[in-house]
């Protein structure tokens, strides 16, 4: 399936959000996630299935004012 990962088209067959993060090497990283504009808590990623055209955000700490 094709999803939009951080604003870019991305092909994946990950079944859920947790699996996607793991495949990206971010399983242990300090990240937070959202799916289709809504927050998905770390504990809920495994039970959050992915479907075609999903819009996924994976964010991390960054400099800010």
C-alpha closest to that of 57 among 4, 2, 10: 4
Q: Interface residues for another protein in 9-48 (CB under 8 A)?
A: 24-26, 29-34, 37-39, 41-42
d(CA 30, CA 46): 17
State the nearest-atom distance from the C-beta of 1 to another protein, in Å: 18
**Identity of the residue, 16 or 24, whose beta carbon is nearer to another protein in the bound complex:** 24
Q: Are 17 and 33 in contact (CB under 8 A)?
A: yes
Residues that bind another protein (CB under 8 A): 6-7, 24-26, 29-34, 37-39, 41-42, 57-65
């Amino acid at each position: 399936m094709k999803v939009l990962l951080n604003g870019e088209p991305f092909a994946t067959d990950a079944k859920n959000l947790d699996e996607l993060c793991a495949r990206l090497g971010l399983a242990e990283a300090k990240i937070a996630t959202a799916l289709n504009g809504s927050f998905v808590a770390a504990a809920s990623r495994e039970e959050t299935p992915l479907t075609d055209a999903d819009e996924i955000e994976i964010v991390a700490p960054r400099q800010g004012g």
